[in-house]
């Protein structure tokens, strides 16, 4: 093994300074005795470290500078920014600009005797949380650049091995995080437009991996608070008074900025993901889902308001007869008109249930709770661009208004998008595939639709939201002028089943025995096969399989029953749908051959991976996909094999 001197001789100065930055982040995020109520700051420092790593990957920073994608004229500016960040990290709270120890340091070397006043708190204080060995596991560890940088820093013997907090100053740590974020922003601004696009993609996937590694609600709250720090700073920075005197005083910190009148901007990136995943994880747990919790993650409503989603059947007026939309899912047009409120044009999606016994028509309490949670989740989700889910107003128990006969079903009430006329009905992808005299959309439109649907499923799975009912009848479009003018780049995904977080083991409900739905389901979860049996519950890979069927339909522009020449699908025997996966993957059947000849190798690879399942994404068949490390691999490889492939296609 080479000695440190040899390593220093072959490693470029750029990489040395960069490695110092990476090591500095590592020292601060691993420092002991940080107060428990400030853990979000540790998380923020760690996310800034990964921002720097993502940037370095885009510019191909390595041990030598021969492949560095930064112009030679900007190289010294780059070195200056990295050097400033390096000094800030290693001097902060411990050393002065000449690397002399501060008289009242915030940080000291672990094991170093500190001659000064006692720490602000004792190590066994209830407000102190020593960094646990699992903290670093909450962030991606597979980056080769991270490992190389830390290995070089370790061999250089220039940096302390470990730090601990002697005292703590929350305001100073927040300031440090914002300064480091500013340096990373500056590095980002040095990139050209192509590199910026690549960096945005890479950082999004890093955020998705971070979400996979953080399932504990407390950890999600920390992630949210750490990401919110920038939003708060930007709001303050951009909210100075128009009065020049007051603006000057505010800039000098001599007068408070009036934040109460500021309009909150929509959350983006990690903040939005962490907020929604925390909500998704807590919404069915009364002990976790409290007003204190909703306040911590900045939701606009109280816990009771969010869970108050039951609507009165008397306020719902059905406008037409119920129509089968190519599956067991029924949609009907309706008007929702609660007392003292305006009429709203809506549509209803039915969720049937079987009473647990013949003595009552009431649903199983677990099913009722799941419907409430699903309605609350779809109501609180107001970010169409995130999950492309329509806005839900609530649910109701359906019964005959005259006879009061219970229909043993729930109605989920959805509001139509603002861009659509009130009389415009949702058009499902399945109906468009079977619409007579409708021309097949262009290849460009079909690839774009494939890409959007795969990105949406990627985002759903990033927050552990399983759809469990993906099929073409649940992909909706709104067109005021009919099917000829559908915008295929603006789909909505509806028909969510009684979705639970993927980490929850209580998955007792079975899908209905319906061949029109089963043809989209993985063989392991078709019909009345118990999801809690040998196959270990519903999995993300089953959603991915369903996506593969939909992508195949879009490629052929035919419903799956026509592609497979299945006659009378609704009345088909289970043996017919159970063989669908085997048939599609059989080279002798020729379905992949059709894709290869008409849409190319990339689409063959995408559809084939979705249908094949876990092994196509580097996961062993039968693996527990709820495990965080498995989820990270599946998330990363789904992007590489599906989302990235479709997004990179130019037609």
Per DSSP, the residues of 196-213 read HHHHHHHHHHHHHHHHHT
Residue 467 lies in a domain: yes
pLDDT of residue 522: 95
CATH number for the domain spanning 16: value is: 1.20.120
Are 470 and 566 in the same domain? yes
CATH number for the domain spanning 373: value is: 3.30.200.20
pLDDT of residue 577: 94
Are 159 and 278 in the same domain? no
Residue 545 lies in a domain: yes
Are 286 and 361 in the same domain? no
pLDDT of residue 512: 57
Confidence category of residue 514, pLDDT binned at 50, 70, 90: confident
Summarize pLDDT for 433-482 with one digit per residue, the tens: 999 889 999 999 999 999 999 999 999 999 999 999 999 999 999 999 98
User: Given a cut of 80, is residue 232 above it in pLDDT?
Assistant: no
What 3-state DSSP class applies to 345?
Answer: strand
Distance CA 60, CA 144 (A): 12
User: Given a cut of 80, is residue 543 above it in pLDDT?
Assistant: yes
Question: Contact, 60 vs 83, CB < 8 A?
Answer: no
pLDDT of residue 125: 41
Q: Domains in the chain: how many in total? A: 4
Tokens 């003292």 -> residue: 340
Are 341 and 470 in the same domain? no
Are 364 and 480 in the same domain? no
Confidence category of residue 136, pLDDT binned at 50, 70, 90: confident
- What are residue 415's DSSP bridge partners? 346
Residue 197 lies in a domain: no
**Boundary residue ending a domain (408, 425, 442):** 425
Q: Is 198 exposed, middle or buried (0-12, 13-18, 19+ CB in 10 A)?
A: middle
DSSP letters for 509-556 = ------HHHHTTS-GGGSTT--TTSTT-S--HHHHHHHHHHHHHHHHH
Are 18 and 153 in the same domain? yes
**Boundary residue ending a domain (308, 335, 358):** 308
Residue 111 lies in a domain: yes
Are 368 and 269 in the same domain? no
Summarize pLDDT for 60-73 with one digit per residue, the tens: 999 999 899 998 88
Q: Residue 87: CB partners within 8 Å, gap ≥ 6?
A: 97
- The boundaries of the domain holding residue 75 are 4-191
Distance CA 367, CA 163 (A): 50
Residue 472 lies in a domain: yes
Residue 287 lies in a domain: yes
Are 101 and 185 in the same domain? yes
Are 19 and 99 in the same domain? yes
User: Given a cut of 70, is residue 103 above it in pLDDT?
Assistant: yes
Are 393 and 475 in the same domain? no
Distance CA 364, CA 321 (A): 28
Distance CA 331, CA 146 (A): 51
Are 149 and 273 in the same domain? no
Phi/psi at 216 (nearest 5 deg)? -65, 135
* Mean pLDDT score, 159-184: 91
Are 445 and 334 in the same domain? no
**Boundary residue ending a domain (398, 425, 452):** 425
């Amino acid at each position: 093994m080479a000695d440190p001197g040899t390593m220093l001789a072959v490693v470029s100065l750029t990489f040395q300074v960069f490695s110092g930055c990476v090591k500095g982040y590592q020292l601060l995020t691993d420092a002991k005795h940080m107060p428990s109520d400030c853990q979000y700051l540790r998380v923020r420092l760690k996310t800034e470290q990964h921002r720097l790593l993502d940037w370095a990957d885009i510019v191909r920073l390595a041990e030598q500078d021969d492949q560095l994608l930064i112009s030679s004229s900007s190289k010294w500016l780059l070195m200056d920014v990295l050097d400033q960040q390096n000094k800030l990290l290693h001097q902060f709270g411990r050393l002065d600009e000449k690397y002399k120890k501060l008289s009242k340091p915030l940080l000291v070397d672990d094991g170093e005797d500190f001659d000064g006043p006692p720490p602000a708190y004792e190590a066994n204080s209830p407000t102190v949380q020593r960094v646990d060995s699992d903290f670093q596991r909450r962030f991606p560890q597979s980056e080769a650049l991270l490992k190389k940088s830390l290995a070089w820093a370790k061999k250089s013997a220039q940096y302390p091995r470990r730090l601990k907090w002697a005292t703590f100053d929350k305001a100073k740590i927040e300031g440090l995080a914002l300064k480091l974020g500013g340096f990373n922003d500056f590095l980002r601004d040095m990139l050209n437009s192509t590199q910026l696009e690549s960096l945005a993609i890479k950082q999004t996937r890093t955020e998705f991996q971070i979400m996979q590694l953080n399932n504990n609600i407390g950890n999600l709250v920390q992630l949210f608070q750490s990401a919110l720090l920038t939003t708060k700073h930007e709001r303050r920075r951009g909210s100075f008074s128009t009065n020049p005197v007051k603006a000057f005083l505010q800039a000098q910190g001599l007068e408070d900025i009036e934040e109460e009148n500021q309009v909150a901007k929509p959350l983006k990136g990690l903040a939005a993901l962490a907020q929604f995943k925390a909500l998704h994880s807590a919404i069915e747990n009364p002990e976790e889902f409290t007003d204190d919790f909703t306040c911590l993650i900045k939701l606009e409503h109280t816990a009771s308001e969010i869970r108050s989603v039951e609507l009165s059947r008397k306020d719902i007026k059905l406008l037409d007869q119920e129509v089968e939309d190519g599956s067991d899912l029924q949609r009907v047009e309706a008007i929702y008109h609660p007392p003292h409120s305006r009429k709203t044009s809506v549509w209803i999606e039915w969720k049937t249930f079987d009473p647990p016994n013949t003595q009552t028509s009431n649903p199983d309490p677990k099913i009722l709770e799941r419907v409430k949670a699903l309605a609350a989740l779809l109501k609180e989700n107001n970010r169409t661009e995130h999950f492309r889910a329509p806005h839900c107003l609530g649910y109701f128990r359906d019964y005959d208004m005259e006879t009061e006969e219970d229909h043993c079903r729930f109605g989920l009430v959805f509001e139509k998008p603002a861009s659509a006329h009130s009389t415009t009905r949702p058009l499902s992808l399945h109906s468009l595939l079977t619409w007579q005299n409708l021309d097949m959309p262009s290849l460009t439109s079909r690839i774009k639709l494939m890409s959007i649907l795969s990105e949406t499923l990627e985002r759903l799975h990033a927050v552990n939201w399983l759809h469990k009912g993906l099929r073409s009848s649940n992909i909706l479009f709104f067109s005021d002028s009919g099917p000829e003018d559908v915008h295929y780049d603006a789909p909505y995904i509806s028909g969510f089943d009684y979705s639970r977080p993927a980490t929850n083991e209580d998955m007792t409900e079975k899908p209905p025995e319906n061949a029109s739905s089963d043809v989209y389901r993985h063989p392991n979860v078709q019909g009345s096969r118990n999801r809690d049996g040998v196959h270990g519950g519903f999995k993300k890979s089953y959603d991915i399989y369903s996506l593969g069927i939909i992508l195949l339909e879009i490629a052929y522009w035919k419903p799956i029953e026509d592609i497979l020449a299945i006659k009378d699908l609704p009345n088909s025997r289970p043996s017919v749908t159970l063989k669908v996966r085997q048939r599609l993957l059989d080279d002798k059947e020729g379905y992949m051959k059709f894709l290869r000849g008409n849409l190319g190798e990339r689409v063959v690879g995408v559809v084939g991976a979705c249908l094949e399942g876990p092994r196509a994404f580097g996961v062993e068949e039968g693996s527990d996909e709820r495990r965080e490390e498995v989820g990270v691999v599946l998330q990363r490889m789904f992007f590489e094999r599906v989302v990235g492939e479709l997004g990179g296609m130019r037609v």
